[in-house]
Amino acid sequence: MAILHPSKSLTALVPQYVSRFSCIGSSCEDSCCAGWRVNVDKKTFNAYRQSNHPELKPVFESSVRRVRSQESDASYARIELHQESAACPLMQDSLCSVQRHLNESYLSDTCFSYPRSTRQFAGGIEQSLTLSCPEAARQALLSPDAFDFVESKVVVRDTSAGKIQPMHGLRPETMNEIRIFCFQLMRTQGLEVWEKLAVLGVFCESLTKAIQAHKQQAVPALIEELVAALETGSITDALKDMPPNHYQQAAVFATMWNVRHKTTHSTSQNAILDMIARGMPTDPASGESVEQQIVANYRRGIERLPAALSEAPWLMEHYLLNEMFSALFPFGDSTPYEHYLRLVSRFGMVRFVLAAQCNSDASLPTPALLAQTVQVFCRRVQHDMKLAQQINQALQNTGWDRLDRIFGFLRS
């Protein structure tokens, strides 16, 4: 069989968990081959249309549709899922019939890459995984050494390793130094996660101001000043008396995380969504959230969450580190501060849904269940760009995008 999409093996910088990951196929409880729109690139679409394979040809003709509203070759067509099950019609006995009857090179770029994301940056190759994949989430969130960085062989297509260009008047080397500083800041020992995020916000605000004032040469000094403030404790001492605002935390994220109409075709997703929904009661008549009860449940969940995380106290930090590495933090938005706000909003929502799992007097959830909760959050929210935009807009509308208010928003 001819090779449709050539691939090659490269050495990449990856978190340790990426080097350990492999797809568990039919054993996966939340398959990526169901419930999602699957984009098909132009080259793959044309190959499918020209195929005469007796088993695949009818499926290709009936279920692979050209998307004429798209001008991009990457999203040239899509696979129409089964209406009732939302499963991919190319799946046979929980295995991909394209791989079975043709070969891996005939997978679309989307199917070949997921859950991996590969890029060329600062003279090297990097690869990360999205935690909407259950096995990726387990590997990233439950292993204490998941974010020790190693060099590992990765298999990529030319189309799957985009090159990152310089941004904001900064050289790639300077961008990388900033990324490394942010990453090291989030791994600082002796600080709680919310404190690290607060300090990160101070840096991102200062970095954004320097960029907007065309003072990129001042960036090394900003880093030195923040390091000195951390070493003396002056910046964290200022945070000690900042009280948490549980009422606003619960109210804002309950509004964002509305699961009343979010049932899916996935049994595992629905089980998690139901658990979260029980922590957010609604008025049967109006369907509106019962705010006071949500706040009380949230506070109880926040109090019990550290005990639930005692066997994997790094779980929230690892979620944030994966977000930062995957999205080239703080260079994945219009400004570093805008990217910081996106990170904060996701942190707040993840903390909210984990607290919802802990808010009863029943046994505490296991770390594995909490990791699965993060995975469902990633699948339901982070792949929904419209919802992500609504979340960011909600923060701005309520005034929580100001750094002075974010500190109370962050503290547990």
Same domain for 124 and 143, yes or no, is yes
Q: Any idea which residue has 């978190």 for tokens? A: 15
- Over range 140-168, report the average pLDDT: 94
Of 212, 237, 262, the one marking the end of a domain is 237
pLDDT attached to residue 109 = 94
Same domain for 72 and 176, yes or no, is no
- Over range 319-331, report the average pLDDT: 97
pLDDT attached to residue 260 = 46
Q: Is residue 365 part of a domain?
A: yes
pLDDT attached to residue 37 = 81
pLDDT attached to residue 259 = 47
pTM of the model: 0.93
pLDDT digits (tens, 9 = 90+) for 77-125: 999 999 888 889 998 877 899 999 999 999 999 999 999 999 999 999 9
Mean pLDDT (the chain) is 89
Q: Any idea which residue has 């509308």 for tokens? A: 397
Same domain for 188 and 253, yes or no, is no
Same domain for 203 and 323, yes or no, is no
Of 184, 208, 237, the one marking the end of a domain is 237
As for how many domains the chain has, the answer is 3
- Over range 334-362, report the average pLDDT: 90
Residue 133 has pLDDT above 90, yes or no: yes
Return d(Cα 90, Cα 80) in angstroms, integer: 10
- Over range 218-234, report the average pLDDT: 93
Residue 351 has pLDDT above 50, yes or no: yes
Model confidence at 41, in pLDDT bands (50, 70, 90)? very high
Residue 292 has pLDDT above 90, yes or no: no
Same domain for 198 and 78, yes or no, is no
* Contact criterion met (CB below 8 Å) for 203 and 182: yes
Same domain for 84 and 133, yes or no, is yes
Q: Is residue 216 part of a domain?
A: yes
Same domain for 129 and 185, yes or no, is no
Model confidence at 7, in pLDDT bands (50, 70, 90)? very high
pLDDT attached to residue 287 = 54
pLDDT attached to residue 392 = 66
Indicate the range of 37-46, 244-253, 308-317, 328-337 predicted with least confidence: 244-253
Residue 314 has pLDDT above 50, yes or no: yes
Domain residue limits at 20: 7-163
Same domain for 209 and 313, yes or no, is no
Residue 286 has pLDDT above 60, yes or no: no
Residue 262 has pLDDT above 70, yes or no: no
Same domain for 229 and 263, yes or no, is no
Cα distances from 273 to residues 200, 235, 279, 368, 378, in angstroms, run: 31, 38, 10, 16, 12
- Over range 197-222, report the average pLDDT: 96
Of 182, 215, 237, the one marking the end of a domain is 237
